[in-house]
Structures are given as C-alpha cells and as structure tokens.
Chain A
Amino acid sequence: MMRTPEAIYKYLRPDKKFPHVWCPGCGIGIVMGALVRAIENTELTKDEIVLVSGIGCSGRISTYLDFNTLHTTHGRALTFATGIKLANPELTVITVMGDGDATAIGGNHLIHACRRNIDINAIIINNNIYGMTGGQYSPTTPMESKASTAQYGSIEKPFDICKLVEACGATFVARGTTFHAKMLDAMMLRALNHKGFSVVEAMAQCPVQYGRRNKLGTPMDMMQWFKDNSVSSPAFDKIPPDELDEQFPVGVLVNKEEKEYIDRYRDIVKKAGGDVP
C-alpha cells in the first residue's frame, strides 16, 4: 500500500505549496491523508473525481488536491455536488464538510441528500467547533463544553451525526477518528465503492480552538481520548445503557443496498419515453 506522503505527493497540486494552512496538530491533515490513501486504492483517475468542499477549515482541502475541485458557499457543498452528479453521473463526487458546515447551515441539504440516496460520498470532519472563525460552538459541541460563544459552557444537546444521517436514509454510514487513521481510509474506500449516499464521519481534534479552551491537552492527548472512548460498533451495542459514559461506536454502522437516485431517475426517463444512455 502506498504510504501517506507518497500518496500526498501524487495527488497534491503541483502549484500548491505546503506546509498547509491548518494549525499544528490539527486532525484535518490526518483525514486528508486517509482520503488520498483511499483514493489511491481505487481505480479512479484524477479526472474522474470531483472534490466539493464547503466553508471553514475543512473547506481548504479542495485547494490542495489535484482533482476537479469546487470550494462552495457555507453549507452548500451537497447542493453543488447534486447538480454535478446528476449532470454527469460518470464522475465520482466527494464532498468534504465540517461539522458546522454539514449539520448547522447545511443541515437541510444533508438530510435531503440522505433521503434521495444519491451516489455522493460525504466526508464530515467533526472537530466539535467552528475553528476558522475563532472557536464558536457548533451543533456537535458537547454539552457544557466551552466555546468563544459559549463562555459558560454549551447548553445545547449535540447531534450524533451518524444517527442523524442513518435516520434520514443514508445507505452507508461509518465513523472513524484521527487516532484510527488507517481504519479511516479503509472506511472511505468502502464508502467510495458503495453505490448510494454514503457518510463517513471523521472525528478530528481541534487542539487550538476547542482543545485549548476546554483544557484537553496536546493534540495527542485528544487523539488518546478518541482511542480510549471509541468502541467498535458490535461491541458498543452490547454495553448496557447504564454503563455508557462518553463512549461512542466506531466502524461501519450502516451498509445496505437500496436503489440509487440516478437509477430511479433513469426509470422516469424511460417512463417519459426518453432514451436512457
């Protein structure tokens, strides 16, 4: 298997210089590494891939990688991606969004993309905070955690992204963390090979805006927390509810076959008397 730096060299845009924009210890770089390793293990060429991102720290991924890339407006990555995929179903469309991007301002688009089961691969990098704008609380900031706009602790119940997208009809749902970097690229590879709407939630540390404010230690300490509290999904289901503390399930949580949106649209074209290519 190709190692991360080799894969990065292969997919990095020749005119984009590193080091990248993310803070020291930021998890987004690890997730981007997993993404290029996953892509390297497919048969896809650079021309066949469209990478669509939203706004925020995660949105910068599209700048670095040598695909057809689109840096959209805040929360709207999936809407642009839907247009691209419908107009040219031959393309593999990957959207990368942050937690605020995907579940706050883009929450409506997320639930409807799930419902349609359109063949788009959504990667949601969840670092529990709005990093780029300075550490405001997001829909996944845990209760009582501090943020620049939650100086006394958040009083809002956070989303469980995987449960949310499962309920909305996503046909492939997986959760990984930056600690489980190699598992993350295996999940992304399965998501890329899945036909239908797939979501990979990548839990990532934001050591600067989230970690520092909540005294969570070094980037490695935050990754250690992922390691200590993650439970593989079959084992997680066996934990009695009263013994659950901060644990969360990782692994492939949903994987089912259902007719994909573009296939269903092709049926409509046939019904209307059009020619399906």
Chain B
Amino acid sequence: MDTEDLDPIHIFSSWCKQCGICTTICPKKVLEIGPDGYPYAARPEDCVLCGMCDAHCPDYAITLKAKHEVKEEGEHE
C-alpha cells in the first residue's frame, strides 16, 4: 500500500482564475497560493479527499482522486 508518491490533488492552472476559494475552503489547509498566484498542494499528505475544493471551484480546475482510484491506477495487485 504505497501511495505516498501519488498526489491526489491536481490543479489545472490554465482554467484557474485565482479566486482563492479553494485555499480558504479546504478544512485541512492543504492548499496554498504559490508564488505564481496559482494554488498548489502544499500538504497533500493531509488531504482527506472531502471534495470541498473540487465542488466549490467555479472553474473546474481541481481534480481529486480517491485513494483507491489512485491505487488502482498506480498498481495492480
């Protein structure tokens, strides 16, 4: 069960309009605004996949993958 190197959060910056909703709404403070103005997963290990960020992103720029999905893609047991 090695999923540490698989980041569950993907930010598609060409759709992102930097509104800042995701960084504030994340209950685990996983996201932060980077130096380029776009959000990035500063603490992906804290992500609980609650889906607050992707459901509230007005621009559909955040993709979350459930851990089992990440696992399925990453390895076949």
Chains A and B are bound partners = yes
B17 within 8 A of A: yes
**Which of A20, A179, A182, A219 lies in contact with B19, CB distance below 8 A?**
A219
**Residue pair B55, A25 in contact (C-beta under 8 Å):** no
Which residues of chain B have C-beta atoms less than 8 A from A178's C-beta? Answer: 56
Q: Is the interface of A mostly helix, strand, loop or mixed?
A: helix
Give the complex CA separation of A18 and B13 in angstroms: 11
Give the complex CA separation of A158 and B59 in angstroms: 30
**Residue pair B63, A25 in contact (C-beta under 8 Å):** no
Give the complex CA separation of A8 and B20 in angstroms: 21
Are A30 and B56 CB-contacts (below 8 A) given A19-B17, A24-B19, A220-B24? yes
**Which residue numbers of A lie inside 8 Å of B, CB to CB?**
3-6, 8, 18-20, 22-30, 33-34, 37, 178-179, 181-182, 207, 218-220, 223
**Which residue numbers of B lie inside 8 Å of A, CB to CB?**
12, 14-21, 24-25, 51, 54-64
Can you list 26 pairs linking A and B with CB atoms under 8 Å apart?
A3-B51, A3-B54, A3-B55, A4-B55, A4-B60, A5-B54, A5-B60, A5-B62, A5-B63, A24-B17, A24-B19, A25-B19, A25-B20, A27-B58, A29-B58, A29-B60, A30-B55, A30-B56, A30-B58, A33-B55, A33-B58, A33-B60, A34-B55, A181-B56, A220-B25, A223-B21
Q: Supply 15 further A-B pairs (C-beta < 8 A) apart from A8-B60, A30-B58, A218-B20.
A: A3-B55, A3-B63, A24-B18, A25-B19, A29-B57, A30-B55, A33-B57, A34-B55, A37-B55, A182-B51, A207-B19, A219-B58, A220-B24, A220-B25, A223-B56
